[in-house]
Structure 1
């Protein structure tokens, strides 16, 4: 028996179900109608520097982490934004340290219109070297909030501390506050329908113009209006992801043990060609949180070659399980889509992944 055949036989024996023989039944007319309705009106959505076509009514959420700075955007009126700034400033100014040093170090206008920032210690118990930077900006209907934790061991002077002596940089605050203020100046609001035509990074509610660089990470998701248990997730990252690909992970003994515990049925896995890019995908049906059953699908691009010019992308889709909806946990014994419907939807959406023209 050759090595490939032996490996396949071994893999099949690990599962308690006949995962390698799992076959999807042809879609019924009703299932075909469900898929047709879900895919009838797809719209391009921008994630990182990629585009993905999603059902038009899918809601979007997510955030970015750019050079270590956490960035979120929230739809908000300008009046609500100004009220939030005023309330935040009042709260920070009312907070008193438990020592002789200030709690709030800076409160004032940042760079550009409708921007503001604060620098404070975080909590009253934090060391006076702590510099929590909060940057705010309102632009085109969205409020941006940027957060970064810096330090300054020179004000007050703590350079005699043995640990501080060993530090090459004893005050990174000037560089980091400059980074946050620079990002604030460049960020602009972006509704989900807007697809930029210039180089830059998309995330939910926002856009950062500029060429691709290191340390740019975006995490986002899309939930379907009439199927609360069905959602897509996407991650885009310019950092190295290591040498293990999605398919290597799928065949890892630890993963196989986990699949066995989940009573999993592997539907499909293998290489996929996408608009000039090579991708890998892995689809399985299994027990989900809450003991119901559902589907877990994954696709990845540039697993082992990620960088600014070839950012890593991970697209996922899940159905079923136990979810928190409007503050209450709801258990789905099975997904609101059949596995056949879920695979058909996945096959349409996942094949639209492509680099946005001019994005890099």
Structure 2
């Protein structure tokens, strides 16, 4: 690194903040801020939690209620919304509506609640044979069963400030916590991007449970030969590819230099990955992946064509290779299980 590049790395790593993701802790530079794009799915229920004052929640709930009352099933005059149920704890409601654009038998339970300064939105799908003109033989009516399941998942959720490190068992995600034992199947994805940089971010994912989850069948090292062949074809230079111990746990590491045709910002950049070694961890522990991107546009909510036109064309990635490696070492070395999480 040049002296200027080394100064930036020193400045970033001098102010590290501990973040809780899944059942792990990791320290990130303070200038890496929580990105608005995240994903949470717990036992078939999609979850989103956001800080929101009570007045804002009441306003949004009123607007959503009116919107669903006007909505009709695609291609028909049948109303999408069938029922509104009050939550047993009085903190919100659950809508029974059709899945947008689908046949009326495919239903969506949509829960909206306000929990001590946070808005919670949850959805899960169900099926009602009585509403179908041609019932699908392989599907059973499970509307009430899914409603009960939705409430069971809801009862184990709460809001959480990003800097809060819980002392209780559970999985951290953006603005929230799933409390208690590991879910039968859960996926948590969270992103942190470098403030004021359009192309530097860290994505951490935690996949838990031994049910129907997207845990890969094979690890990085098991696919090493194929990954190396694919990299050569794409013009990617692999800088590191090996097993790696962090603390007492085993991981697998991949770090690569990428040409402009590979990165989303179309500049030469980098991708670095640390992933749980499945042969060591097994399905009884969360499967963790940390990814570091340089030269890739940071995640963002869906944009209009006008907004897309304003995305700057980059001439080079924000970080040099030396800066990427130094930050990657500083961040990944702090990875550890959260005490009491399991």
Place the TM-score, normalised by the shorter chain, in its bin.
0.7 to 0.9
Are positions 1:222 and 2:196 aligned together? Answer: no
Contact kept? 2:112, 2:122, Cα under 8 Å: yes
Structure 1 residue matching 2:199: 3-state secondary structure = strand
TM-score (norm 2): 0.87
- Other-structure match for 1:45: 19
| Cα offsets for 1:310-347 (capped at 9, x unmatched) | 11001000101456886432233322111101100000
Aligned mates of 2:103, 2:42 — CA distance in 1:
26
C-alpha change, 1:132 and 1:312, in structure 2 (3 Å) is: same
CA distance in 2, matches of 1:290, 1:128: 42
CA distance in 1, matches of 2:82, 2:239: 56
The Cα shift of 1:116 comes to 1.6
1:107 alignment counterpart: 84
Structure 2 residue aligned with 1:73:
49
* TM-score, normalization by structure 1: 0.83
Distance 1:278 1:324, change over 3 A: closer
Q: Compute the displacement of 1:227 (Å).
A: 2.8
Give the ranges of 4+ consecutive aligned residues of structure 1 lying more than 6 Å apart after TM superposition.
none
Deviation at 1:244, TM superposition (A): 1.8
Which of 317, 321, 325 does residue 339 from structure 1 map onto?
Answer: 321
Point out the structure with max Rg over C-alpha. 1
Q: How far apart are the structure 1 equivalents of 2:283 and 2:57?
A: 33
- Change in CA separation of 1:304 and 1:134 when aligned onto 2, cut-off 3 Å: farther
Pairing partner for 2:159 from 189, 198, 201: 189
Q: 1:182 to 1:259 in 2, by over 3 A?
A: same
RMSD: 2.3
Q: CA deviation at 1:58?
A: 2.0
Deviation at 1:95, TM superposition (A): 2.3
| Deviation, structure 1 residue 141 | 2.5
8 A contact 2:201–2:298 mirrored in 1: no
Quick one: distance in 2 between partners of 1:51 and 1:322? 25
Q: Secondary structure at the match of 1:227?
A: coil
Are the equivalent residues in 1 in contact too, given 2:161–2:176 (CA < 8 A)?
Answer: yes
Contact 1:77 1:142 in 2 (8 A): yes
In structure 1, how many angstroms separate the alpha carbons of the residues matched to 2:61 and 2:107? 19
Distance 1:49 1:244 in 2: 22
Question: Please, which moves more after superposition, 131-140 or 45-54?
Answer: 131-140
Cα distance, 1:102–1:214 mapped onto 2, change above 3 Å: same
Matched, 1:349 2:325: no
Q: Which residue of 2 aligns with 1:207?
A: 177
For 2:84 and 2:93, the matched residues in 1 are separated by: 8
The SS at the match of 1:251 is helix
The answer to whether the 8 Å contact 2:200/2:297 transfers is no
**Cα distance per residue 1:293-317 (max 9 Å; x no partner):** 0011000014356666311001000
Instruction: Check whether the contact 2:264–2:296 (CA below 8 A) recurs between aligned residues.
Output: yes
Q: Which residue of 2 aligns with 1:232?
A: 202
CA distance, structure 1, for counterparts of residue 203 and residue 299 of structure 2: 17
Q: Deviations over 1:29-60 (max 9, x none)?
A: 32221111111111111111111111123222
Which residue of structure 1 aligns with residue 111 of structure 2?
135
Unpaired segments ≥5 residues, structure 1: 1-26
Identify the match of residue 146 of structure 1 among 122, 134, 142.
122
Q: What is the number of residues matched between the two proteins?
A: 325
CA-to-aligned-CA distance 1:162-199 (integer Å, 9 cap, x gap) = x42xx3x6112112111112222331111110011001
